[in-house]
Chains A and B, each alone.
Chain A
Amino acid sequence: MSLDDVLQTFYVEAQEHLESMENVLLKMDEGECDNDMLNDIFRSAHTIKGSAGIFGLDHIVSFTHVVENVLDRARDNEIKIEKNLIDVMFKCRDHMQNLVAVTLDEFNGQAELQKNDGDLLAALAPWASADSKQTQAKTSTVTASQNDNKLTDEGDNNKLWHISLRLSTDCLRNGMDPLSFIKFLSSLGKIKHIETIIDAFPDSAHFDAETLYLAYEIALQSDASLEEIENTFMFVQDDSDITILSASAKVDDYLALIDKRPEDNQRLADILVNCGSLTRDALEQGLISQNKKNSTPDKQAATDKLAGQAVEQDKTSESTVSIDLTKQNKNKSSEGKQIRIDSNRLDHLINLIGELVINQQRIELLSKDTKNPALTEAVDDFDNFTNQIRDAALSLRMVPIGATFQRFKRLVRDTAQALGKDVELIIEGADTELDRLMVEKLGDPLTHIVRNAMDHGLESIEARQAAGKNIKGQLKLAAYHEGGHIIIAISDDGNGIDKVRVREKAIEKGLINPDAQLSDNELFHLIFHPGFSTATEVTNLSGRGVGMDVVKRNVEALQGSIDISSQTGVGSEFKIRLPLTLAIIDGFHVEASGTHFIIPQATIIECINLANHQDIKGRHCINLRGDMIPYLKMSEIFKLTPSHPQTLANNKIPSSVKRELVIVKFGNDVAGIAVDRLNGEIQTVVKPLGPIFKALKGIGGSSLLGNGEIAFILDIPQLIELAIANEIVNKTGKSKNSE
């Protein structure tokens, strides 16, 4: 693992700990507080500090040290977790996030960040111990050479640990210097003795200046836990041999260590004695005890050599804590249920599987031409496995929406505080999984909707009281599956959208005529027009009319749509409907005028023969079992040139071409897509459209077919909207907004 990789791991883990801190603080803010929560938040701060120390990120260490000190005092019941402290801790947590984002040099160059550092440390002062205040005073600007051996004056109550380090020979080459670890160990306690062993040095002809030849035996006096000491080496433990022995380790454990190490046994025994980790007497007695247990002649000779002389005395050691990190890590990894993978690798895998799918389709076509039954059967099996591989790979990229929802707890808390409102956030369906790429892109639209709901939807405490509502407003974030789509619903129990106000504003902005008759849904969708806002005052949160149009655009870019429902005095709901994934979808291959199209299968209700149904009054609309279904002809919508000469000549469809109608549904709307030919189900690798096609309505992407031809993936929500709009025009002779 290179230094960049290790640093990346540090940033990812720091982010996780910061999220964990925020979650604990949010619970504390709601009045919960127990020892487990205090331990959790302390551990998060401590781990961030520890890991930052290893990398010499002293600006993080010095600030987090004070935060950790305050949390430690709370754990020891020296101070109480109170509202003011929680507020400061939220700010400290945010500041830590900013600190993690910058290097030490960047920190020293940013006056604002340093000022914030100082301000927050001053804000923490009432809860911090005198010791940490002194540390704080010294660290207004941190220098890289800082080596805070803060525990040198600690009493003898600390435990004595022995750490035997045989770090990876690639350690230096990978950017990790033992210097960092020793510095960090000295921040955990006092290094009583360190023996640098140079026995592994080669002669000059075989010396590699970037290989680590040094080994270390360390006696550390510290009250740190085993886990804390282990964590010092978390970034190098995979390729290193590290043994940590506690003060209560048996002499046998030291003898096992001596046996395990490549150095001369007598020399290593001397080193351990020099370290003070065990006494000469204890060593000799242990050897005799071992000698008695394993009395083979060879072992006898070896142990006699070490012991020097026989002492006729048994010794019983205390309880043992002997940790061989290498072994322990092997156990950990075998027990581990989760591994961390670079998302770029997953994306690469999905892309490769996309290529596999295209090639599989090509092989399928070729096998059909050969009409070889055995080959066809083999290709069918291949198809089956390709589908399974595709599903398995796509599932790797699925992540629960819960983590995204959790982030809104903080946003809701801060926004409610800024607005002087009392708001409860309810989260439902946090386990619902969504493609990671979509989750990333959902953050901004959700933020806009949540802010708007809090600012304009939910009423003030006084207004709610006057309306006889619970003074605590409710904001709900929910996620669930519906008809092959994911629904993200954001609802509130506020005042609802003011329809009269929306209408007035739309007329004022010239979006509709004063006499236009609009359904509620059409009226609500006006808020997605750029610059549209019904807010009477602009706040720093919302009301500028910037955002809702961007929300709609972002959701549509994800092949999704938004529905709004609202009831005056009861509340509003924004429903974002999204496809499960954007990478490879189950498609339905159709043709119109020789052009290939893919219809996402999740949107298809059924396919019917158009010849069996009469158009209603010459309009593109049929009566399907009592329902009026408007439809679109692909050849008309995309102005396709008919590929059949007969059609060209007399504008009639030849009998060889059947008119098929694919009935599709999105949300509550249903429409038909008229095509010439149905070619069947197909796995569709979604490729983005080039900029030239971006303006083309009704096309959401493209895909490569097995025969090498291009197929266009239909954007069903847009086409349904178009079919309905056309039907309104055909029926009334007017466009829907200008009646």
Chain B
Amino acid sequence: MAEITITQASNDSTEIVISGELTIYCAMEVFQQHFKQLKVRGLTLLKLDNITEIDTAGVQLLIMLMKIVNEQNCHYQVISLGEALTDYSNLFQLNRYFIDFEDIKVMTTSKTEEE
């Protein structure tokens, strides 16, 4: 089960730390409890290096999280990936989603500044 910590920093930014297993077994709960009503401010920093296991449902959650941030006209930055996500990302050649963010920009209407 994944642990989600959301911290609103004083410098008008939000830090989201995800730890543990981000898989189909908890995807619904994580989305309902933490992401669906998520409100972010300014730049959102995503710290993902403590994710110990991730599957496609988990990756979809992360993509949805990025989309939610963009829907609120905010920007995000992935500050760490971790081994599990890196492995998945390498296999699916997804690095641009987590590093370059080109496609997230394409699919969302807002623009990101992190590029």
- Contacts from A to B (Cβ < 8 Å): 145, 147, 172-173, 175, 177-179, 182-183, 186, 191, 193-196, 198-199, 201, 203-204, 207-210, 212-214
Contact = CB atoms under 8 A, between A and B. Distances in A.
Contact of B36 (A147, A193, A204): A204
Contact of A201 (B31, B94, B107): B107
B24 interface: yes
Chain A to chain B: the 9 pairs with minimum beta-carbon distance, closest first: A209-B27, A209-B31, A209-B28, A204-B68, A194-B93, A177-B56, A172-B57, A177-B55, A178-B56
A207 B92 contact: no
B94 A210 contact: no
The interface residues of chain B, by DSSP majority, are classed as helix
Which of B24, B60, B103: most chain A CB closer than 10 A? B60
B64 A207 contact: yes
Contacts of A208: 28
Given A177-B55, A210-B27, A193 B61 contact: no
Nearest to A147: B91
Interface in B66-95: 67-68, 71, 87-88, 91-94
B63 A198 contact: yes
Contacts of B93: 191, 193-196
Given A209-B30, A212-B56, A198 B107 contact: yes
Contacts of A213: 60
Given A147-B91, A191-B91, A193-B93, 19 more contacts: A172-B24, A172-B55, A172-B56, A173-B24, A177-B55, A177-B57, A179-B55, A195-B93, A198-B97, A201-B60, A204-B67, A204-B68, A204-B71, A209-B27, A209-B31, A210-B27, A212-B60, A214-B56, A214-B59
A209 B107 CA distance: 18
Nearest to B59: A214
6 contacts: A147-B87, A172-B24, A177-B57, A196-B92, A201-B63, A208-B28
A179 B35 CA distance: 24
Contacts of A147: 87, 91
Nearest to A193: B93
Given A178-B56, A179-B91, A201 B67 contact: yes
Interface in B36-68: 36, 55-57, 59-61, 63-64, 67-68
Contacts of A195: 93
Contacts of A175: 24
A183 B90 CA distance: 12
B84 to A, nearest CB: 9
Interface in B98-115: 103, 107
A218 to B, nearest CB: 10
Nearest to A200: B107
B99 to A, nearest CB: 14
A210 B91 contact: no
Which of B30, B55, B93, B103: most chain A CB closer than 10 A? B93
A179 B56 contact: yes
Contacts of B107: 198-199, 201
A204 B35 CA distance: 9
A194 B59 CA distance: 16
Interface string B16-37: 0000000010011011100110
A179 B22 CA distance: 14
A273 to B, nearest CB: 15
A204 B94 contact: no
B30 to A, nearest CB: 7
Contacts, number: 73
Contacts of B87: 145, 147
Contacts of A183: 91
Contacts of A207: 31, 36, 64
Nearest to B88: A179
Contacts of A178: 56
A207 B27 CA distance: 11
A78 to B, nearest CB: 33
Contact of B24 (A177, A191, A196): A177
Contacts of A210: 24, 27-28, 57
Given A209-B57, A210-B28, A194 B64 contact: no
Nearest to B36: A204
A175 B68 CA distance: 26
A303 to B, nearest CB: 24
A199 B88 CA distance: 20
Contacts of B97: 196, 198
A175 to B, nearest CB: 8
Nearest to A144: B53
B72 to A, nearest CB: 10
A191 B31 CA distance: 32
Contacts of B28: 208-210
A177 B60 CA distance: 12
Nearest to B29: A209
A204 B64 contact: yes
Contacts of B60: 201, 209, 212-214
Contacts of B27: 209-210
A177 B27 CA distance: 13
A177 B55 CA distance: 7
A186 B56 contact: no
A105 B64 CA distance: 33
A195 to B, nearest CB: 8
Nearest to B26: A209
Nearest to A205: B36
A175 B63 CA distance: 20
Contacts of A173: 24
A4 to B, nearest CB: 15
Contacts of A182: 91-92
Nearest to B89: A196
Contacts of B57: 172, 177, 209-210
Contacts of A196: 92-94, 97
Contacts of B55: 172, 177, 179
A204 B40 CA distance: 14
A432 to B, nearest CB: 48
A214 B92 CA distance: 11
B68 to A, nearest CB: 5
A208 B36 CA distance: 10
A204 B55 CA distance: 20
Given A204-B36, A207-B64, A210-B57, A198 B30 contact: no
A209 B58 CA distance: 9
A324 to B, nearest CB: 24
Nearest to B68: A204
A277 to B, nearest CB: 14
A256 to B, nearest CB: 25
A178 B92 CA distance: 10
